[in-house]
């Protein structure tokens, strides 16, 4: 599932208007005041987001028992075995991180030569792309959080750790595939010599301890399937764009690495999209309300709580670099909402919808237009702003353009 910053805020973050030059000349007293007000604003924003999510969940609540029954039925009647499990790659056919990195089965000279080649290619990767890559890596490395999250879904959980039903086998298989993503990216970054690995590792440690804010109702199958489809698609886009950019900058090794990860995310997206489509067939009213609830809660990001112990707005800054470099943008989010509305035929849901379901349908179908409009306004505002940079601990405190 997750891998990336995915659906970032459309509006530019207020803190981006602070220039590094001003930060350098600021007094320690001023800095303390700024830090306090910034963290208060952050807390306020978070408590607002939590309230909005709770309101959205209550307003469009679906029946947990119905959701649980559907999940159990899909596993018991073999639907998961037939339509979801084939989307996992058999272990014998799957790539492993060692296949894409210098081989230590070769002679010492050959090992040194392979590492030197990797580093020579990585030398051409610009800092903004490195920041995107580190942000994606950190998010992939928080896989334990996501597995815990996925295992809370009523009717789809692996209660014993060795359950035989289809959803449990999918969850373990999906985790095994995802586990390679963080491993591969982490090893590439380490061997490249381009990033401060201690800062990267600290960020992973912080994020694992912080956890993640989930969908409005974490035990809801409907919310989880929808969230999974969005996250996997966003992750695919981000890794695929990073692959393209790496190739343009002459790093064929990184391009291959991001390319194979993107291909995995594509299969995972297909699984959650297919399962959501099936849930739409079973319970269109419940699913359209769940979709609206997830969208209204703004789809909180798996890596949203990342921290390096220094930059209080690390995720916002990472998102701004991804937006500016085109690795993942607000326009991608609008495209994604449009894609799923079309794929799940949301606009065509008809007579069986409740009044709440119809309201949810109207909201979701009108959402891409609203997001695009907000994105245009943000773009116009950004065009009028001066260039801004932020120093990232991940790249040894070098400044990277956020605006």
Residue 400 forms beta bridges with which residues? 390
Q: Which residue in 121, 165, 180, 181 binds Fe ion (CB under 5 A)?
A: 181
Q: Per-residue contact track with Fe ion, 94 to 133, x per CB under 5 A?
A: ----------------------------------------
181 is in an annotated binding site: yes
Q: Binding to Fe ion by residue 194, rule CB under 5 A?
A: no
Select the span of 140-148, 242-250, 275-283, 321-329 touching Fe ion (CB under 5 A): 140-148
**Closer residue to Fe ion in complex, CB, 85/378:** 85
Q: Binding to Fe ion by residue 178, rule CB under 5 A?
A: yes
Min dist. Cβ of residue 80 to Fe ion (A): 17
Q: Binding to Fe ion by residue 183, rule CB under 5 A?
A: no
Q: Binding to Fe ion by residue 265, rule CB under 5 A?
A: yes
Min dist. Cβ of residue 85 to Fe ion (A): 15
Residues 324-383 that bind Fe ion (CB under 5 A): none
> What tokens does 89 get?
């790659």
Q: Binding to Fe ion by residue 303, rule CB under 5 A?
A: no
**Closer residue to Fe ion in complex, CB, 253/260:** 260
Select the span of 229-237, 360-368, 378-386, 394-402 touching Fe ion (CB under 5 A): 229-237
**Closer residue to Fe ion in complex, CB, 181/372:** 181
Select the span of 85-93, 172-180, 292-300, 378-386 touching Fe ion (CB under 5 A): 172-180
DSSP label at residue 393 = G
Closest CA to 84 of 278, 258, 366: 278
Q: In the 3-class helix/strand/coil scheme, how is the chain assigned residue by residue?
A: CCCCCCCCCCCCCHHHHCCHHHHHHCCHHHHHHHHHHHHHHHHHHHHHHHHHHHHHHHHCCCCHHHHHHHHHHHHHCCHHHHHCHHHCCCHHHCCCHHHHCCCCCCCHHHHHHHHHHHHHHHCCCCHHHHHHHHHHHHHHHCHHHHHHHHCCCCCCCCCCCCCCCHHHHHHHHHHHHHHHHHHHHHHHHHHHCCCCHHHHHHHHHHHHHHCCCCCCCCCCHHHHHHHHHHHHHHHHHHHHHHHHHHHHCCCHHHHHHHHHHHHHHHHHHHHHHHHHHHHHHHCHHHHHHHHHHHHHCCCCCCCCCCCCCCCCCHHHHHHHHHHHHCCCCHHHHHHHHHHHHHHCCHHHCCCCCCHHHHHHHHHHHHHHHHHHHHHHHHHHHHHHCCCCEEEEHHHCCEEEECC
CB atoms near residue 263 (< 10 Å): 15
Q: Binding to Fe ion by residue 239, rule CB under 5 A?
A: no
Min dist. Cβ of residue 164 to Fe ion (A): 23
Are the C-beta atoms of 200 and 138 separated by less than 8 Å?
yes
93 is in an annotated binding site: no
**Closer residue to Fe ion in complex, CB, 8/288:** 8
Select the span of 83-91, 112-120, 259-267, 342-350 touching Fe ion (CB under 5 A): 259-267
Q: Binding to Fe ion by residue 3, rule CB under 5 A?
A: yes
Catalytic residue ranges? 95, 140, 178, 181, 232, 235, 264-265, 268
Residues that contact Fe ion, how many (by CB under 5 A): 7
Q: Which residue in 213, 233, 268, 317 binds Fe ion (CB under 5 A)?
A: 268
**Closer residue to Fe ion in complex, CB, 62/142:** 142
Are the C-beta atoms of 316 and 390 separated by less than 8 Å?
no
Min dist. Cβ of residue 399 to Fe ion (A): 29
Select the span of 153-161, 257-265, 332-340, 395-403 touching Fe ion (CB under 5 A): 257-265
376 is in an annotated binding site: no
268 is in an annotated binding site: yes
Closest CA to 390 of 83, 39, 12: 12
Q: Binding to Fe ion by residue 156, rule CB under 5 A?
A: no
**Closer residue to Fe ion in complex, CB, 180/213:** 180
Q: What is the binding site for Fe ion (CB under 5 A)? A: 3, 140, 178, 181, 232, 265, 268
């Amino acid at each position: 599932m997750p891998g990336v910053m995915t659906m970032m805020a459309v509006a530019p973050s207020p803190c981006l208007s602070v220039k590094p030059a001003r930060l350098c000349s600021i007094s320690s007293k001023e800095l303390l005041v700024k830090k306090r007000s910034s963290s208060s604003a952050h807390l306020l924003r978070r408590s607002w987001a939590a309230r909005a999510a709770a309101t959205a969940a209550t307003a469009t609540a679906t029946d947990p028992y119905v959701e649980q029954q559907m999940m159990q039925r899909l596993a018991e009647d073999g639907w998961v075995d037939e339509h979801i499990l084939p989307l996992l790659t058999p272990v014998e056919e799957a790539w492993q991180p060692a296949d894409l990195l210098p081989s230590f089965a070769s002679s010492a000279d050959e090992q040194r030569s392979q590492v030197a080649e990797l580093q020579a290619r990585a030398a051409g990767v610009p800092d903004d792309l490195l920041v995107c890559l580190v942000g994606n890596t950190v998010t992939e490395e928080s896989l334990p959080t996501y597995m815990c999250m996925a295992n809370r879904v009523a009717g789809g959980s692996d209660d014993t750790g060795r359950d035989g039903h289809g959803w449990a086998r999918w969850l373990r298989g999906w985790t095994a595939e995802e586990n390679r993503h963080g491993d591969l990216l982490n090893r590439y970054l380490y061997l490249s010599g381009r990033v401060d690995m201690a800062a990267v590792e600290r960020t992973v440690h912080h994020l694992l301890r912080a956890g993640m804010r989930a969908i409005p109702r974490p035990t809801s199958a409907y919310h989880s399937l929808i969230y999974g489809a969005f996250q996997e698609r966003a992750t695919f886009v981000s890794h695929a764009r990073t692959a393209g950019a790496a190739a343009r900058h002459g790093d064929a090794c990184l391009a291959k690495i991001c390319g194979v990860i993107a291909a995995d995310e594509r299969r995972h997206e297909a699984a959650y999209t297919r399962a959501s489509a099936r849930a739409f067939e079973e319970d269109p009213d419940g699913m359209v309300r769940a979709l609206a609830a997830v969208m209204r809660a703004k789809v909180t990001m798996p890596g949203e709580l990342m921290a390096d112990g220094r930059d209080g707005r690390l995720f916002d800054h990472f998102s701004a670099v991804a937006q500016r470099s085109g690795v993942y943008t607000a326009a991608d989010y609008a495209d994604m909402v449009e894609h799923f509305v079309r794929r799940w035929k949301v606009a065509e849901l008809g007579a069986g919808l409740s009044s709440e379901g119809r309201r949810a349908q109207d909201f979701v179908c009108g959402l891409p237009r609203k997001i695009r409009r907000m994105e245009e306004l943000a773009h116009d505002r950004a065009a009028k702003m001066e260039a801004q940079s932020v120093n990232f601990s991940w790249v040894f405190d070098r400044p990277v353009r956020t605006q």
